[in-house]
C-alpha cells in the first residue's frame, strides 16, 4: 500500500510531494480528512501548482544542441580535473 498526501482543489486531488506511480495508473482512494489547507497557504499551493505546470511544459522542449555546450565551454574556459 502506498500513502500519498494530497489536497482537493474543488475538481481534482493534487498530490503534495512525490507520487511513486506511473502516469495513467488507476488507483483506489481511501480518504482520511485532515485539516484543510489554510487560506494563507492556498496562494502558495496555487503558485506551486503553476510552477509545476510550467516545468512540465519546459521539459517538453527539445534539449539544447551540442554546439551550445561547445560554445559555452570555450567561453567559460573550463578545465577538467582527472584525479580518479
> What confidence tier does 37 reach under pLDDT thresholds 50, 70, 90?
low
More confident residue, 41 or 6: 6
Where do the H-state alpha helices sit in the chain?
A: 39-59, 66-76
Cα separation of 5 and 15, whole Å? 6
> What residue segments make up the domains of the chain, in order of their start?
36-76
Average pLDDT over residues 64-74: 83
> What confidence tier does 21 reach under pLDDT thresholds 50, 70, 90?
confident
Per-residue confidence (pLDDT) for residue 82, from 0 to 100:
62
Per-residue confidence (pLDDT) for residue 58, from 0 to 100:
86
Q: Cα 15 to the chain's mean position, in Å?
A: 11
Amino acid at each position: 500500500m502506498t500513502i500519498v498526501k494530497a489536497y482537493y482543489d474543488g475538481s481534482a486531488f493534487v498530490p503534495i510531494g512525490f507520487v511513486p506511480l506511473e502516469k495513467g495508473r488507476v488507483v483506489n482512494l481511501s480518504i482520511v480528512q485532515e485539516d484543510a489547507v489554510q487560506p494563507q497557504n492556498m496562494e502558495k499551493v496555487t503558485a506551486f501548482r503553476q510552477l509545476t505546470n510550467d516545468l512540465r511544459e519546459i521539459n517538453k522542449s527539445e534539449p539544447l544542441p551540442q554546439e551550445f555546450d561547445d560554445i559555452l565551454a570555450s567561453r567559460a574556459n573550463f578545465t577538467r580535473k582527472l584525479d580518479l
